Amino acid sequence: PALLRPGRFDRRVVVPRPDVGGREGILKVHTKKIPLSEDVEISVVARGTPGFSGADLANLVNEAALLAARRNLKQVTMIDFEAAKDKVLMGAERKSMILSDEEKRNTAYHEAGHALVACIVPHADPLHKVTIIPRGMALGVTMQLPVDDKHTYTRDYLESQLAIMMGGRAAEEIFLNKVTTGAGNDIEQATELARRMVCDYGMSDLGPLAFGKNQQEIFLGRDLATQRDFSEDTAIKIDQEVKKFVMTAYQKAKDVLTSNRDALVRIALNLLEREVLDVSEVKLLIEGKPLPERVRIVLPKPTPETTEVLKPQPTPGVPGRERPQPA
């Protein structure tokens, strides 16, 4: 762009997302004025938040403080940080959204398909949690969490991600004998990833070639801003390779689910009963073991004392103004 032509800016500062050491330092700054329980280890929270920006971490601490205040606690515990992390990663719960029994069942089998494939296929990020409580714009969410920060991705990893994306659609087809619009976003993401594998990363049978030159047009969408520098025959081959990646992943997902039918049914039924399952519970269900009883926690109303002690801390923003408090 004209704004960045040589001579207009002598120095450019690149601010990437913080690594684990940076996240730990940022968390220490934001938790300085918040009382923490003895079970809270900032280093553990930092390792469990790969990809979080500084703003995400500030939001995480504020949300944890609010959750602790709602539980009438004077200190923030590790449970509060875990719940806050889920809200930042997956969006706020919409428990007021009413779903029919059929929609709940469809969502449970769909998310169970994602979760089971994520636990079975190799090279994938570990499963973190699966829920059928509507969050954000989704009716259910299956969340993976990388063990550490990733900067490059292998073809095996991306193919596993494709299989996980298609796991929901495969579960609908196999166990419900129908397909729904719930898989629309999964299919869109899988197609986009497969196209990048072909056109940007050179991972297809077409070889290590890049197709489509990005023109950096800030006012146009991706399709309009990409120059087509290949022939019609090549375009057909690209489409074939994209389809091959997606359909291979779809078949892999179907094979995993067919081989583990009983496990998927157990996961889906327990999702209908409990609404949320973490990775340890999903693994127990895959192994055919019963789940332990959950301890029900009754949340007392926050008192003025706990609300004041755990008041979320504003972060620097516009001079003279505090940052808006989280909802």
111 is catalytic: yes
Would the pLDDT of 208 be above 90? yes
Q: Which of 5-9, 16-20, 111-115, 306-310 has the lowest mean pLDDT?
A: 306-310
CA distances from 19 to 48, 78, 90, 125 (A): 11, 21, 21, 18
Report DSSP letters for 135-194, one per residue.
BTTBS-EEEE--SS--S---HHHHHHHHHHHHHHHHHIIIIISS--GGGHHHHHHHHHHH
% of the chain residues with pLDDT over 90: 58
The pLDDT value recorded for residue 170 is: 97
323 confidence band (pLDDT: 50, 70, 90)? very low
Share the mean pLDDT of the chain. 86
- pLDDT at position 297, please? 54
- Taking only the tens place, the pLDDT of each residue in 122-152 is 999 999 999 999 987 888 999 998 887 888 9
**Whole-model pTM?**
0.80
**How high is the pLDDT of residue 47?**
86
| Pick from 8-12, 192-196, 219-223, 305-309: least confident | 219-223
pLDDT band at 315 (very low <50, low <70, confident <90, very high): low
35 backbone dihedrals φ, ψ, rounded to 5° = -70, 130
List the domain boundaries for the chain. 17-90+297-309, 101-286
Mean pLDDT of 171-184: 93
Q: What is the pLDDT of residue 312?
A: 61
Q: Given 63, 111, 159, 281, which residue is catalytic?
A: 111
Give the C-alpha distances (Å, rounded to integers) separating 274 from 65, 132, 219, 269, 270: 26, 9, 46, 9, 6
Assigned CATH for 17-90+297-309:
1.10.8.60
Q: How far apart are CA 128 and CA 118, in angstroms?
A: 10
Residue with tokens 């994209």: 242
Contacts of 121 (CB under 8 A, 6+ apart): 160, 163, 164, 252, 256
The pLDDT of residue 6: 80
Closest by alpha carbon to 282, among 138, 167, 150? 167
Q: Which CATH class, in words, describes the domain spanning 101-286?
A: mainly alpha
Contacts of residue 281, Cβ cutoff 8 Å, sequence gap at least 6? 270, 274, 291
Check: CB of residue 132 under 8 Å from CB of residue 115: no
- What pLDDT shows up at residue 295? 62
Is it the case that residue 189 has pLDDT exceeding 90? yes
pLDDT in tens, 31-57: 998 999 999 999 989 988 888 999 999
